[in-house]
Each structure stands twice: as C-alpha cells, then as structure tokens.
Chain A
Amino acid sequence: MEDRSINNQTENTAGEIRYGKEKGWFFTLMRLYGTYAKLDLLWFLRDTKYCLLYMVTDVICALAAMAGVLLLSVQFGGFGGMSRNEILFMLSYGIFVDGIFNLFFTGENMGNISRVIGRGQLDHWMIQPVPVWIQMATCGFCPFSGSSKLVCGIIMTVYSLYGLPVAVTPWWVFSFLAGTAASTAVILAFVYIVSCLAFVSPAAAEEIAPTAHSPFDMLKSYPLGGLSAFWKTCFCTVAPVGLAAWLPSLSLLEKAPGMFGPLPVLTIVMAAVYMAAAGMLFKKGMNYYGKYGCPRYSGFGHR
C-alpha cells in the first residue's frame, strides 16, 4: 500500500504546481523534525507555565520510580549481583532511555500507537504525501516539552559514573549511546508489536500500548542478576524488560561477557530483531487496514 518513493514534483507536466524539490527521505525527515520541533516550541512559548509544570512532573515521576530500588541498594549495599553505584548507573541508564523515548515519541501518541490505530486516526496519515514510517518517526518529536527526562538522565549518568571504575573513552560513549538507542528501539518495537492488535480489534485494543509499555516502567529498574538463567533469558528475549536497562548496563560496566568491550551487542541484536518483527507486523496491519479500514473514529486528540 505504501509508496516509499518521493516524487520530484518539479518534473510534473507543464502548468502544474511545482513543489519544493524533494532530495530524498533524509531531507524529508529533517524538514519534518524541524516542523514538529517548531510546533513543540510554540506550545512551550504560549503555555509556558503548563509546559514547565509538565516537564517538572516528568522528572519527579522518573526520580520517584527509581527511589525504591535506590533506597534498597543503599540499605543493603547493592543487590541482584550489582553494587550500589552500579545500580545507580543502571537506574540513570533507564532514565536516559526514557528520555530518548519521550523526546521522539511522546507527541501525538506516537509512543501509544494503538490509540492512533484504534481510533481510526491512521486516515489522517494516509491523506498526507509522506510515507507512513516518516510520519511515525517525526510526528512525536518534542525537543522542548519532552526533553526533561533526557536532561535528568544525562545528569544522573554523569553523577553515577563518578562512583564507578569506568574509563569513559570515546568508544565507551559510543557504546553507551548505541546501547540506549537500542534499548529505546526494543521498548518502541515491543509496544508497536503489541499495538498491532488494534488493527484487528480497534475498540478492545485501543489502550493496549500503555499496558505494553508499563512492564518496562515497573521492572526495568530492578537488577535481574539474582534470577535463574531461565528467567534472565525470558526477560532478555520474549519479555525484554532486561534489555531496557539491566543487560546493557552490565555490558557497559564490562560485567557481561562480550567481544566488543562495553558495547551491548546482545541488546543491539535484539533491538534489530524486535524492530524487524515490528516493521513486518505493522506492515501486515496496514494491509489489513487497507482491506477493512477501521470501523470507528474517535475525534479527540485527532492525531
């Protein structure tokens, strides 16, 4: 159903409107990131008070979510095979990942895609001359209102590294960024895979994306080292909460076996697998949507 090619409208027949020259998907992506950044900035400038309140709330929620595990680790000097400082690093890593997720996928329910599908709002995407994947990648970009958790994550990570014997080399920084990007991709892909149910059952599965996301919110802050190999495998494959913070943190602390030093290879591989599965299922879902449409439309928060 999707035509991925971006046509060069300047070559249309004489007399027709000449659109701006499309240089390729990368430029479209950048142009739309700019557009959504501007929309977000306008919200920040117009409703500054509410926007700031929203950002502060985000940070409080992030800190509150890690407080329990942090206090336990302080009380017992670490647990689950990790020391207190290592747990603090893992928690910071988790907030950093949440920060990336919020930055790119908070807006317009992009991180809760079952709402868009279940409310019949994909129709809005289909009448835009932009490939669906570019809309999904750009629509939720909130560099101003969605940046608070990322800033908090950066500060926490830097702070936690002071208490750890980690050599912060450019390769380590690259590994950290690759790991956090992969963890974000795993969370996003998992949410999208589950959200595909909304194609076939829009009313029942409209709110399934927040439910699919919640295990990551609840469990990613726990060190899984104390669990049996079976459960560790489960949490790093079929229910990949361990890939959101625990396993990549161990790799970065060089406590997990790996051929590339701190690079969290397994997380990156699993992210690729999950993204491929999500892409395949979403494409199937779009075909189903093209065949049967969505028998309902809910206008609120229309995108």
Chain B
Amino acid sequence: MENMAAPDILALDIVDITKIYSQWQRTGQVRDILRNLIHPQKKEIKALEGLSLQVRQGEFAAYAGANGAGKSTTIKILSGILKPTSGSVRVLGMDPSVSRLELMRRIGVLFGQRTELWWDQPVLTSFEWKKSVWNIPDSVYKENLDMVTELLDLGELLHTFSRELSLGQRMKADLGMLLLHSPQVLFLDEPTLGLDVLAKRDMITFLKKINKERGVTIVVTSHDMDDLEEMARRIILLDHGHLAFDGSFEELRRVQGGLGRVRVTVSEDAGAGMQELPGLTLEEVKDNVYEYAYNHEKSSMQDILKALSCLSGIEDVELKRAPIEEVIAKLYRSWK
C-alpha cells in the first residue's frame, strides 16, 4: 500500500480552474408561466473561479470554506465526476475527465454523507464486490483487508449487514473499503460528519497513521476546524470559489493577528482594571473569567505578565493558542 509513484509527479495540480453552474430561476407567478415555458430564466453560479493549487505526494491537506465555497465541487472535479468549465486539472499526472478509469484505480473518494457499501449485504460482501470491480489481486486484497480490519477494528463488523451499522461503524467500514485497492491519493469529503467523539478520534488517528506510515496523500474537507487542525499540516481556504488562504494553521493565526489567548480568573471582589490591559484585547468576560487575545509579534509575554502581576485578586492565568474555529469564523465573517 505504500506510495511508490514517481515523487516528482504532483498529487494534485490544479491550474486556473473555473466551474460555472446554471440555476433555473422561477418566480412561481401566473404571469410568468409563458416566459418560463418559452425562455426560462437561468442564473449563472460561479462555484470556482480561477482556482490554482498544487499538492505534493504524501501531503495531508485540509480543504475548508463556508457552505457553498466550492469544496465538494473541487472534490468532484478531482475525481472526474464533474468537468471544469475552464482550466486544467491533473491528479497524479492524469486528467480525471480523460483517464478516469486508470485514475480510479489509484485514488479513493469518500463522501461522508454517502456510502459505497451494499446496503443489504454484510460488509465483507461489499469488500469482495470491490475486489472484483477493481480487479484487485488476491495478495493485495488480503494484505489490505488484514490491515484495515486491524487498524479500524472491523473484525466484528465484517459479517454485519451494512444497513444495521451505526453511522460511526458505517464510516469505518466505508473507509476500510476505500483503502482496499491501495489508493495513492484520498479525497475525503466531510468524513467526520455526524460522528461521535470516539469514532472521530479513531478516524483521525487512522488517517494520520496511513498518511505518515504509508505516504498516502490525503485531501480532507470538513466544517470542524479542530478536526482539520489535528489531522492536517496545511490548510487551503476557499471563499466563494477563490483561493483565500493556503498555508499552515499557525500562519493562518498569524495572518488573523490573534495568535494567542490569555484567560485570567480573578476573585469575586477583584476585577478593577481588568477591562483594559496593555497588549491585550478583551474578548469575553464570563463570571470572574476574563479572556484576552494577544499577538506575540506586537506584545511581549514579559510585558503582559508584568501588567497582570500589578493587579490584585488574580487566582489563575492560562495561556493558549487562539481556537482555529474562532480564527476561521472571523475570516468567514469578513468575507460576507
């Protein structure tokens, strides 16, 4: 299953792609019946506009954006389901719309809200169906089946009907099935959607493991930014079809200027002078807890601690990074 493809070939190479959909516009009014029949109104929606990005083999990239930003459209273009209106796409050096069959043997696509499992068959039968359709050699199938059974703890699920699985179990089985043909690149569209904490943990650990140990390139979309930060080293942010940010999570925090948080708990009678402290911006006050944002490039930690030490009634000081959810939410709001 190790990724042995020529390392100089990019896993993804997207150059200036644009994707335009058209939407029928209907007013639902009697006077427009004739117009709707003869010349229906269409509205053009630009799902992607001039998007360019590259992902090297072995990378684990998070692909994020608000609803309608174009994440799923990109995944569908990369997997050959949709064709871009303009621009070029290469996945492992291949054009998905031209070399779909060959490409599908080398990549895996998982849509979180869909399943590839056969509903009325046990999980193992779905796996065997995949072996036949992908024409996976016996030795590779057995090796990968053993691997996913062990790592995803699928043992007891293999003989259970897919329709009887919980969402978390189904996602695990889907992910296991996805890996049976040793894909070199994985596109995961919201794989943690609806999963409970434990199932999410298992999935994240597994994905990190196959990326690290087997060099599988992973591009994952999610609305859960904490999950993305835990999994990926790189975040690609989309805004209405445009590339808005491409870099590490730390760079993203730096760009947003809120690199850290200071949480100060004070006694009940204290609180005077807490509203304005040098180098700190008050974000939230709840009971006796004050939360500030700071930028370490502008204010030194020494100055901050000095200012805090001058105050009386401080019970606890906690330093932490700015939550990525908050950083990105701020970005989304600024894009509206």
Contact = CB atoms under 8 A, between A and B. Distances in A.
Contact of B133 (A2, A14, A32): A32
Nearest to A34: B132
Nearest to B119: A302
B331 to A, nearest CB: 27
Given A42-B121, A293-B76, A302-B119, A129 B101 contact: yes
Given A42-B121, A293-B82, A17 B182 contact: yes
Determine the interface band of chain B, counting residues with CB < 8 A from chain A.
35 or more
B82 A9 contact: no
Nearest to B187: A127
Interface stretch (B55-63, B104-112, B198-206): B104-112
A49 interface: no
Interface of A: 1-3, 5-7, 9, 13-20, 22, 28, 31-32, 34-35, 39, 42-43, 123-124, 126-131, 290-293, 295, 297, 299, 301-303
Contacts of B5: 13, 15-16
Contacts of A290: 81-83, 97
Given A17-B182, A19-B134, A19-B137, A127 B125 contact: no
Interface of B: 1, 4-6, 21-22, 76, 79-83, 85, 97-102, 104-106, 109, 111, 113-116, 118-121, 125, 129, 132-137, 140, 181-182, 184
A6 B101 contact: yes
Given A3-B99, A9-B105, A124-B114, 18 more contacts: A1-B100, A16-B184, A17-B1, A17-B182, A35-B133, A39-B121, A123-B76, A123-B81, A126-B81, A128-B104, A129-B105, A129-B134, A292-B21, A293-B76, A295-B21, A297-B113, A301-B119, A302-B115
A184 B184 CA distance: 42
Contact of B101 (A130, A301, A302): A130
A1 B83 contact: yes
A32 B132 contact: yes
A200 B160 CA distance: 38
26 contacts: A7-B101, A9-B102, A9-B135, A14-B4, A15-B5, A16-B4, A16-B106, A17-B137, A17-B182, A19-B136, A20-B135, A31-B132, A32-B132, A35-B133, A39-B121, A123-B114, A124-B114, A126-B79, A126-B80, A127-B79, A129-B104, A129-B105, A293-B21, A293-B82, A302-B114, A302-B119
A48 to B, nearest CB: 14
A129 B102 CA distance: 7
Nearest to A35: B132
Contacts of A15: 4-5
B115 A129 contact: no
A107 B98 CA distance: 29
B114 A18 contact: no
Contacts of A124: 114, 116
Contact of B6 (A5, A13, A130): A13
A289 B120 CA distance: 28
Contact of A17 (B76, B102, B111, B140): B140
Contacts of B135: 9, 19-20, 22, 28, 31, 129
B21 A299 contact: no
B81 A43 contact: no
A162 B157 CA distance: 55
B129 A39 contact: yes
A123 B104 CA distance: 12
Nearest to A287: B83
Nearest to B99: A3
Nearest to A31: B132
Contacts of B115: 299, 302
B114 A299 contact: yes
Nearest to B131: A35
Contacts of A7: 101-102, 105
Given A3-B101, A13-B5, A126-B100, A42 B182 contact: no
B101 A131 contact: yes
A124 B22 CA distance: 23
B116 to A, nearest CB: 7
A19 B105 contact: yes
Contacts of A28: 135
B120 A127 contact: no
Nearest to B24: A201
Contacts of A17: 1, 105, 137, 140, 181-182
B133 A130 contact: yes
Contacts of A123: 76, 81, 111, 114
